[in-house]
Chains A and B, each alone.
Chain A
Amino acid sequence: MNKTISLACGNGGEENNELISKVFYKAFKNEILEKSEDAAIIHDGALAFSTDSFTVSPLFFPGADIGKLAVCGTCNDLAMMGAQPKYLTCSVIIEEGFETRELEKIVRSMKQELEINGAIVVSGDTKVVPRGSVDKIFINTSGVGEVLKKGISSNNISEDDLILVNRDIGCHGATIFVAREGIEMSSTLESDCASLFPQVKALLDADIKITAMRDATRGGVSAVLNEWAKQSNICIEIEEEKIPVSDEVSGICEMLGFEAAALANEGTFVLAIKKEDAQRAVEILKTFENCSRATIIGKVTDAHLKKVILNSSWGTKRFLDTPSGELLPRIC
């Protein structure tokens, strides 16, 4: 580990994982933490518990704002463990001089999103710090959810599963990049920020055999697939042409040299579903707004354990690695 923390340590990729395991896991050693799931399963499997902080810049962008993001972020982590979001906390650190009107707008967004999830904020904290100590506003939300289906875990994926995504990828990362000051571009791109619990509920209600789910936030789909490959000790093989990417996200990736699979998402999740239920799961996901491109993207094998392979449509293959380096700072 380096002597100082670099920006790359917050990228959701390799450096981030190194920081987490060498500093935090080392100190806070326990079984639950080491499972590295989206949310911790506690209380004998009955509850899920998660936390997330939000530092996105700019605060308002096409498709969402920091408030919506703060609620979606934590509620989605709970939903990914098969839990219904119930109680959230909300802590804010506000920079002196921040406009009250903007704060109210953000809080209104949060309220709207809570209703979609059926959750409430039961506790909170507010701090105001001198100008320059934070960039406008940072929000932390923590959430408790009721587990509706036990056993959903990224440690249990096997060759009985197929890998799915619920929609086209990379929209959030691409949108934030375009919305950033100094990058003069204009496009019709929108963040995919959305609450995923309704989709998860629909899958659970239809008795879909879900092995694992994870929302592809920082580090994108690449990060999730690599985490799964390591945690479940499997090889994940993806058909490159099956990965859905919109024309606009492709355009940004071309211009700036990004790979869509490394871009962050806030309403896109990856699923590992038992083979026999995979197609049915796709049909259910497709009924949701913006999810018309839900699809199966790959399978599980033992070709190269703990690695993710991309198979091209012209017969070549390569590894899809966990993203590294400072890609897009302050993306969520």
Chain B
Amino acid sequence: MSVKTEANKMGLELKNLYDDFRDADTIKAFAKIIKEDALKLPHAINIMEVCGGHTHTIMKYGLPQLLPANIKFIHGPGCPVCIMPKERIDHAYVLSMQENVILVTLGDMIKVPGSHGSLQNARSKGADVRFVYSPLECLKIAKENPTKKIIFFAIGFETTTPMTAALLHAVIKQDIKNIFFHINHVTVPEVMKELIDSRDVHVDSYNNKIDAFLGPSHVSVISGSKIYEEFPRDYNRPVVVAGFEPVDVMQAISMVVKQFIEGRCELEVEYKRLVTYDGNIKAQELINKYFEKADLFKWRGLGNIPKSGLKLKPEFKAYDAEVIYKDVLPLQEIEDHKLCICGDILRGMANPPECTIFGTACKPTSPIGSCMVSSEGACAAYYKYGNLI
């Protein structure tokens, strides 16, 4: 593997892209800069990281322990599994129990409990439920099981939406007749607005308020940083798009702090090596070809947020499991458990340890709310890493 590109000649190795962005000395250096700059902050600031991957990095590397008291993290709803309402988990459960169906989804989704149980429970009751690392694996499953209906339960933010689109593209191109889709893709800017708007209404009754956002890394790779323009412009909230590694997060926090002490309110990109203003145009085109915005999508704990979810365009209804299985999919709204405060946690208005059932009735092995299920959920991250903070 000794092909050298321009940058290879400049000395960039793959290892650098990992190690150097996790370098202990660099993390310590930024911690020092942030501490010094924080002394000049006009007021205490709360930074919301929207993306579950950022929550994971922050907790795994113990970054809150490096910040001064006047800078706090608020953990946002950036976990596509966490925000899945029980109603739609029940859809997945019901679909998996249909005759001749193989329900396929990504990773953590199989552990989230709906009102009948999780997909894992469905599997132990005999349903054919499979988790895959890539939507493309559905093509193989479909070929190996020609008499079965493969339903891909699609989840994720803008990061994973193009991959679902690419799968549908391949299904149509290869004229595959037994793959269908249940779409649960959601978008980030609408929920960010919802959090700011609802927060302003409640700001007197809660102490927390979002002063700035850490923009998600890989959503931004696809959509470009352009989708956050309105936040500094119309909502007076700086946004810094940060990468996933601890050095990226520390640098982004440093950039946020500098904005406050210099009286700026801008959209900045820390993750320059991967995020551009326009993003991945081809991916966006694929998304726009097959999907359109649904009027409403219910987010667990946050309620209905307009235009925040996607659905297949009507011309593709032949592939839409929600249309095909309309008669068996349950419609009634389901309340969350009384003691579960996932909604408040997702809005950044409470921290996991403040929940009365955190760590007792609600644990990763027996999750009551979905913040505990995915490793990107705030509760799961706190449970695993957080007690030392």
**Residue pair B18, A324 in contact (C-beta under 8 Å):** no
**Which A residues lie within 8 Å of B365 (CB)?**
8, 14-15, 18, 324-325
**Residue pair B375, A317 in contact (C-beta under 8 Å):** no
Choose from A313, A324, A326 the contact partner of B24 (Cβ within 8 Å). Answer: A313
**Which B residues lie within 8 Å of A25 (CB)?**
none
A309 to B65, CA, bound (A): 14
**Which B residues lie within 8 Å of A28 (CB)?**
none
Asked if A319 is at the interface (CB within 8 A of a chain B CB), the reply is yes
A183 to B136, CA, bound (A): 12
Residue in A6, A182, A316, A325 whose Cβ sees the most chain B Cβ within 10 Å:
A316
**Which B residues lie within 8 Å of A319 (CB)?**
384-385, 387-388
Number of A-B contacts (CB under 8 A): 60
**Residue pair A318, B59 in contact (C-beta under 8 Å):** yes
**Which A residues lie within 8 Å of B387 (CB)?**
319
**Residue pair A182, B364 in contact (C-beta under 8 Å):** no
B275 → chain A, closest Cβ, in Å? 20
**Which A residues lie within 8 Å of B386 (CB)?**
318
Asked if B111 is at the interface (CB within 8 A of a chain A CB), the reply is yes
**Which A residues lie within 8 Å of B137 (CB)?**
182
**Which B residues lie within 8 Å of A326 (CB)?**
120
A313 to B364, CA, bound (A): 28
B289 → chain A, closest Cβ, in Å? 28
Given contacts A6-B120, A317-B388, contact A325 B61 (CB under 8 A): no
**Residue pair A318, B385 in contact (C-beta under 8 Å):** yes
**Residue pair B24, A321 in contact (C-beta under 8 Å):** no
A182 to B375, CA, bound (A): 24
Asked if A27 is at the interface (CB within 8 A of a chain B CB), the reply is no
Given contacts A6-B124, A324-B365, contact A316 B65 (CB under 8 A): yes
Task: Summarize A's interface: helix, strand, loop or mixed.
Answer: loop
A317 to B386, CA, bound (A): 9
The contact string, 1 if C-beta is below 8 Å from chain B, for chain A 234-262, is 00000001000000000000101100000
A325 to B111, CA, bound (A): 9
B170 → chain A, closest Cβ, in Å? 16
Asked if B68 is at the interface (CB within 8 A of a chain A CB), the reply is no
Looking across the interface, which residue of chain B has its beta carbon closest to that of A185?
B133
**Which A residues lie within 8 Å of B120 (CB)?**
6-7, 326
Asked if A186 is at the interface (CB within 8 A of a chain B CB), the reply is no
**Which A residues lie within 8 Å of B31 (CB)?**
314-315
Looking across the interface, which residue of chain A has its beta carbon closest to that of B108?
A325
A253 → chain B, closest Cβ, in Å? 11
A312 to B385, CA, bound (A): 13
**Which B residues lie within 8 Å of A18 (CB)?**
365
Given contacts A254-B18, A326-B120, contact A312 B61 (CB under 8 A): yes
A6 to B365, CA, bound (A): 11
**Which A residues lie within 8 Å of B28 (CB)?**
314-315
Given contacts A256-B133, A257-B375, A312-B24, contact A4 B60 (CB under 8 A): no
**Which A residues lie within 8 Å of B18 (CB)?**
254
Given contacts A14-B365, A15-B365, A319-B384, contact A314 B124 (CB under 8 A): no
The contact string, 1 if C-beta is below 8 Å from chain A, for chain B 239-260, is 0000000000000000000000
Interface residues on A, range: 20 to 34
A45 to B61, CA, bound (A): 44
Choose from A15, A183, A312, A314 the contact partner of B133 (Cβ within 8 Å). Answer: A183
Asked if B163 is at the interface (CB within 8 A of a chain A CB), the reply is no
A140 → chain B, closest Cβ, in Å? 24
Asked if B62 is at the interface (CB within 8 A of a chain A CB), the reply is yes
**Residue pair A316, B66 in contact (C-beta under 8 Å):** yes
Chain A residues 291 to 329 lying within 8 A of chain B, measured CB to CB, are: 304, 309, 312-319, 321, 324-326
Looking across the interface, which residue of chain A has its beta carbon closest to that of B383?
A321
A5 → chain B, closest Cβ, in Å? 8
Looking across the interface, which residue of chain A has its beta carbon closest to that of B140?
A182
**Residue pair B66, A318 in contact (C-beta under 8 Å):** no
**Which A residues lie within 8 Å of B66 (CB)?**
314-316
Asked if B27 is at the interface (CB within 8 A of a chain A CB), the reply is yes
A309 → chain B, closest Cβ, in Å? 7
A325 to B375, CA, bound (A): 11
A46 → chain B, closest Cβ, in Å? 39
**Which A residues lie within 8 Å of B340 (CB)?**
none
**Which A residues lie within 8 Å of B388 (CB)?**
304, 309, 317-319
A4 to B120, CA, bound (A): 11
Given contacts A14-B365, A324-B364, A324-B365, contact A316 B375 (CB under 8 A): no
Chain A residues 186 to 212 lying within 8 A of chain B, measured CB to CB, are: none
**Which B residues lie within 8 Å of A182 (CB)?**
137, 140
15 A–B contacts from the bound complex (CB under 8 Å)? A4-B124, A14-B365, A182-B140, A183-B133, A312-B24, A314-B25, A314-B27, A315-B31, A315-B65, A315-B66, A316-B65, A316-B66, A318-B62, A321-B383, A325-B364
Apart from A312-B24, A325-B364, list 20 A-B contacts with CB within 8 A: A4-B124, A6-B120, A6-B124, A7-B120, A8-B365, A182-B140, A254-B18, A309-B388, A314-B24, A314-B27, A314-B31, A315-B28, A316-B61, A317-B65, A318-B59, A318-B60, A319-B387, A321-B383, A321-B384, A325-B111
